[in-house]
Amino acid sequence: MVKSVTSAIPNFVMNCFQLPMGIIDELNRIMAKFFWTTGDGDKGVHWKAWDKMCDEKLNGGLGFKDLECMNLELLAKQGWRIATQEASLLFKLLRGSILDIHRFYMQS
């Protein structure tokens, strides 16, 4: 439950904007602090390093998302949706002025 709540909070903003690394680091710090503190607000036990907790469950982690990668994944998903749905209003507005489909496909 902790994983789903803490990951969902920044999800909407990351779907629209690329967050600066300072904000991503602060969000990671808040999520780690939330996970590691006790109910009384006292310092809890750090069972694992945060980067290890972000590993996949198959690799011994807890499956928390790396927010930097998640941000880029969500932006790529939005870009793909805009570039492939030619009937959408946003595609029609951006076509010819801002949207360069060929350049979008060639991004590394």
Which of 25, 28, 21 lies closest to 6 in space, CA to CA? 28
Strands (E), the chain: none
d(CA 71, CA 66): 9
- Name the nearest CA neighbour of 72 among 4, 17, 6, 26: 17
The answer to pTM > 0.85 is no
Boundaries of domain holding 10: 2-105
Q: Which amino acid is at 94?
A: L
- Biggest alpha carbon–alpha carbon distance for the chain: 57
User: Phi/psi zone of residue 17: left (φ > 0), alpha (ψ -120 to 50 degrees), beta?
Assistant: beta
* pLDDT, one tens digit for every residue, the chain (108 residues): 555 666 677 788 888 889 999 999 998 888 888 777 766 766 767 777 777 888 888 888 888 888 898 899 999 998 888 878 888 887 777 776 665 655 655 565
pLDDT of residue 34: 77
Q: How far, rounded to the nearest angstrom, does the alpha carbon of residue 48 sit from its chain's CA centroid?
A: 21
Angstrom distance (rounded) from CA 11 to CA 75: 11
User: How many structural domains are present in the chain?
Assistant: 1
